[in-house]
Amino acid sequence: MSLLDVTGLTVVTDSGRALVSDLSFTVEQGGRLGLIGESGSGKSLTALAVMGLLPPGLTASGSVVLDAPGLGRTEMVGAAESRLRPLRGRGAGVVFQEPLTALDPLMRVGRQIAEPLRRHRGLRGAELRRAVAAALDRVQLPEPDRIARAFPHEISGGQRQRVALAMALAAEPTLLIADEPTTALDVTVQAEVLGLLGELIAEKDMALLFVSHDLAVVSGVTDELVVLKDGRAVESGGTADLLHAPRQPYTRSLVESARTFENALERITR
Ligand SMILES: Nc1ncnc2c1ncn2[C@@H]1O[C@H](COP(=O)(O)OP(=O)(O)OP(=O)(O)O)[C@@H](O)[C@H]1O
């Protein structure tokens, strides 16, 4: 049984327009899958549907089964909020492109990281304080004491994304869903955060669903890819195979533009 089994996932608007159509994929325990496609192809909606977090006005059908060890097997499509809530964080955690969406602007960073540690791992008092320090340390934040006392606007964008990652990881999710987690960061910081993400995933044997328009980014952290176009999967397979021998013209064009970008980068940095 797979950790995440998505079968025939379809997302439609109230007016009947399909934004994701008949999408199927699986993520195994500890597996790393990339959902790739250009802007508007339905990647974010797929990630939201997997968490049961679609905005009002959109409806999912098909099946999304999350089978997280210790939490039971859950059909996420159509499940009641009360069934989904305990799964969010521990079953599946999310990191979004803009860390400010995950962070409360009025709460110090340390308290925000303490929240999932308290809720999901039942930590209190000195043990909780130590776990907050350890969580900040794990995402390699300098001066963890200062960062813990800071408000989100008092730290840099890269630091905020590390904090958001620390929060998602604090609940020790079986599956981490990362939606363009490094897109808002400059290239060097992007590479650092990606490297860190890869290490932490491997260390905890977490599964990863990585959503991005950027093939160069996704290929470094995933073993398998699903290529989305206009809400449909047009190609899927092993990351290395797809990069070296893309079958569909659309995938070929994504590979081409990733190569052009890499070459341009090389010329700049050489
Ligand atoms: N709440 C909504 N109501 C109606 N249409 C929506 C809604 N949210 C998204 N869409 C549309 O659904 C399509 C897929 O959106 P989605 O955000 O999943 O794309 P994406 O591949 O993640 O793109 P990006 O990389 O730009 O975030 C887009 O055409 C978008 O305009």
**What is the predicted ipTM?**
0.94
106 in a structural domain: no
238 in a structural domain: yes
Place of tokens 């890499």: 262
150 in a structural domain: no
Is it the case that residue 1 has pLDDT exceeding 80? Answer: no
The domain tally of the chain equals: 1
Pocket-forming residues, ligand 1, beta carbon under 6 Å: 13, 19, 37, 39-45, 55, 57-58, 213
116 in a structural domain: no
157-171, 197-211, 254-268 — which is least confidently predicted?
254-268
Domain span at residue 227 reads 4-100+175-269
What pTM value is reported for the model? Answer: 0.90
Alpha helices in 122-186 (DSSP H): 125-138, 144-149, 157-170
* Average confidence (pLDDT) over 15-34: 96
CA 36 from centroid of its chain's CA atoms: 12
Is it the case that residue 215 has pLDDT exceeding 80? Answer: yes
pLDDT number for residue 228: 96
* Average confidence (pLDDT) over 65-93: 91
167 in a structural domain: no
pLDDT number for residue 9: 98
Q: How far is the CA of 64 from the centre of ligand 1 (A)?
A: 19
CA distances from 239 to 71, 113, 161, 201 (A): 30, 33, 25, 17
Which atom of ligand 1 lies closest to the CA of 212? 25
* Average confidence (pLDDT) over 103-108: 92
pLDDT number for residue 185: 76
CA distance 152 to 164: 10
How long a stretch of residues is the chain?
Answer: 270
pLDDT number for residue 268: 59
Task: For a ligand 1 pocket test, name from 9, 10, 43 the mutation site with the most ligand atoms within 8 angstroms of its C-beta.
Answer: 43
264 in a structural domain: yes
pLDDT number for residue 204: 85
pLDDT number for residue 191: 83
CA distances from 195 to 139, 178, 189, 220 (A): 11, 14, 10, 9
Is it the case that residue 81 has pLDDT exceeding 60? Answer: yes
Helix (H, G, I), strand (E, B) or coil at 25: strand
129-183 confidence digits (pLDDT tens): 999 998 898 888 888 889 999 999 999 888 898 899 888 888 889 999 999 888 7
Radius of gyration of the chain (CA): 19
Instruction: Select the more confidently predicted residue: 45 or 141.
Output: 45
What is the CATH number for 35?
A: 3.40.50.300
CB-CB contact of 64 with 75 (8 Å): yes
Ligand 1: which residue has its CA nearest to atom 14? 42
Which atom of ligand 1 lies closest to the CA of 97? 27
Structure letter (DSSP) for residue 38: S
CA-wise closest residue to 197 among 215, 179, 186: 179
Task: For a ligand 1 pocket test, name from 41, 54, 98, 215 the mutation site with the most ligand atoms within 8 angstroms of its C-beta.
Answer: 41
169 in a structural domain: no
216 in a structural domain: yes
